[in-house]
A = this chain, B = another copy of it.
Amino acid sequence: MMLVNGQPLDSVSALDRGLAYGDGLFETIRFLGNDAPLWGRHMHRLLTSCERLHMPAPDPHLLRQEAQQAVGNQREAVVRITVTRGVGERGYALPSATVTTRIVAAFPMPSVASSIYRDGIRLHPCQTTLADQPLLAGMKHLNRLEQVLARAEWNDPAIGEGLLSDQHGHAICATAANLFAVVDGVPVTPSLERCGVAGVARAEVLEALPACQIRDLSVAECLGASELFLSSSIRGILPVQAVGDTVYAPGPVTRAMQQHWRDLGFAMEQA
């Protein structure tokens, strides 16, 4: 079920700036029936990102109505909300009067094997590195070719994610999740001032783990960590089992965050 500007449609204008320039933002939100425990965090990121892109912000109440309409009576669903700068003339200049396009679509929850929550996910160390661009860092915008190229680096279905680093040897994130490490007993997540997407699940973990440091994290530190886990608004907390040939066992911080996720109401197979 999909709504485009509130109408049950499955297409958008071929002149939409979302398509022409990737000029827009998106959120992917896990719904449990009518409930979406991280909704407020998704809206916060969407609205602050609209401001950074000089784009009129959509009405969160309207988005919520449309999201629930898209979910219908499904017990669980993933809702993707896309907001673009709308139809524009040729050229990069902002339209004189912007009418944003909003696309609200519900998809089935992807299945995650219970062994992933129990034993962990395997990561491919990506050769694709993320460019430094402070003006875009943190936002979930529609310019995602770096992630597409990184994800194209492996085909092995036993590998579930990729470890992405920047051009200075810092670990940043996975292709579609954020990264946490436990280094010398202290939880750490990479600083996302120059690249990467600041996930809503990451924000939730940071609030649940006030001792967590946000700082540059070298790939070497990451490989030497005692625990490594990913956070995703859709898949929850995923222990990392291996990055290439380096192996990890899920530890107490990872298990505590999985429990926190269950307390939010998100089903994850018993770890």
Residues of chain A whose beta carbon lies under 8 Å from any beta carbon of chain B: 2, 4, 9-23, 26, 28, 53-54, 78, 80, 82, 84-85, 90-94, 103, 105, 107, 110, 128, 131-133, 135-136, 141-152, 167, 175-176
Contacts and interface: CB of A to CB of B under 8 A. Distances in A.
Contacts of A85: 148
Copies assembled: 2
A21 B151 CA distance: 13
A18 B17 CA distance: 11
Nearest to A22: B22
Contacts of A133: 131, 146
A176 B19 contact: no
A78 B149 CA distance: 30
B141 A145 contact: yes
Contacts of A21: 22, 142-145, 147-148
B80 A90 contact: yes
A54 B148 CA distance: 10
B10 A15 contact: yes
A167 B132 contact: yes
Contacts of A28: 90
Contacts of A136: 145-146
A103 B15 CA distance: 10
B103 A90 contact: no
